[in-house]
Amino acid sequence: MQVLFFALGARRMRAVVDESAQVVADGGQAVVLIDHAKLWRNVSFDPAVRVVELSGIEADRLPMRIGHGLLYDVPRGLFRAAGRGPLRQRARRAAAAYEVRLADRVHRRVLAPSYRLVWGEVSQSLVQRHVLDGASFDLVVVTDSPSMPYAARLLERYGPGGWNPQVAFGLDYAAPSAPDAAPSAPDEDPSAGSADAGRRG
């Protein structure tokens, strides 16, 4: 079974890690779509799980490159220029604190949401290219509310005539696969039914 996990909100990290590992342990394939890898630095995925970072595949787009330059590249240059000689270590610590406490937060809470608000279809196309092309997922697990719009738009794009996987909020919520042919009930006897019909007639 191939399972796609939408985990853009990073709300249920342990559940996503455990359930994706379970898919692999059962002989399936698991792909997890996350937003920012830094938010997941305290958990470890099974090596067989494929993790796709949305902000990473968006990084090559021009608006994101400009925003990244203003948030990271320019300040890094300023810190390097100011951190010469005996101030070098202090400047490095200040640069690291700036990125963790300010730049990363602005990127997650302002830059990325603003980009997706304006160029949302581009992000959808990137997800399609990096996650869906060549794949045939049997189950889509939507693990948090920020993931719902992405999952919904992708399902709408393909429609019931194309990619039509089962959708659930977790592996425990997914219905078991239906057998190819349901066996007849042991007490069901077609000939008896015909005889009954004859007597009623």
Structure-model confidence comparison of residues 121 and 93, the more confident one: 93
Q: What is the pLDDT of residues 56-70, one digit of tens each?
A: 877 776 676 787 788
Strand pairing category for 166-168 and 139-142: parallel
For the whole prediction, is pTM greater than 0.85?
Answer: no
Q: Is residue 94 part of a domain?
A: yes
Instruction: List, as one string, the DSSP characters of 65-104.
Output: HHHHIIIIIHHHHHHHHH--GGGHHHHHHHHHHHIIIIIH
139 falls within a domain: yes
Whether 54 and 136 share a structural domain: yes
Is 183 among the domain residues? no
CATH of the domain at 40: 3.40.50
Mean pLDDT calculated for residue range 78-82: 87
Whether the per-residue pLDDT at 10 is higher than 60: the answer is yes
Please tell me the predicted confidence (pLDDT) of residue 23. Answer: 96
Of the listed ranges 50-54, 91-95, 103-107, 187-191, the one predicted with least confidence: 187-191
- Residue 38 belongs to what H/E stretch? none
Distance (Å, whole) CA 38 – CA 147: 18
DSSP state of 129: I
What integer best gives the mean pLDDT of the chain? 79
Q: CB of 32 within 8 A of CB of 143?
A: no
Which residue range forms the structural domain that includes residue 24?
Answer: 2-60+123-173
Average pLDDT of the segment spanning 23-50: 94
Number of domains in the chain: 2
Say if residue 52 is in the same domain as residue 128: yes
Higher per-residue confidence, 116 vs 43: 43
How many angstroms separate the CA atoms of 99 and 42, rounded?
18
Of 29, 51, 47, nearest in space to 38 by CA:
51
Residue with the larger pLDDT of the pair 116 and 191: 116
**Is the pLDDT confidence value at 143 over 80?**
yes
Q: Which comes out higher in pLDDT, residue 173 or 3?
A: 3
The verdict on residue 195 lying in a domain is no
Q: Does residue 184 sit within a domain?
A: no
Among 109, 108, 147, residue whose Cα is nearest residue 131 = 147
Q: Is residue 178 part of a domain?
A: no
Tokens representing 61 are 């787009």
- Domain identity same for 9 and 49: yes
| The pair of three-digit structure tokens given for residue 23, joined into one six-digit string | 């898919």
Residue 126 has pLDDT above 80, yes or no: no
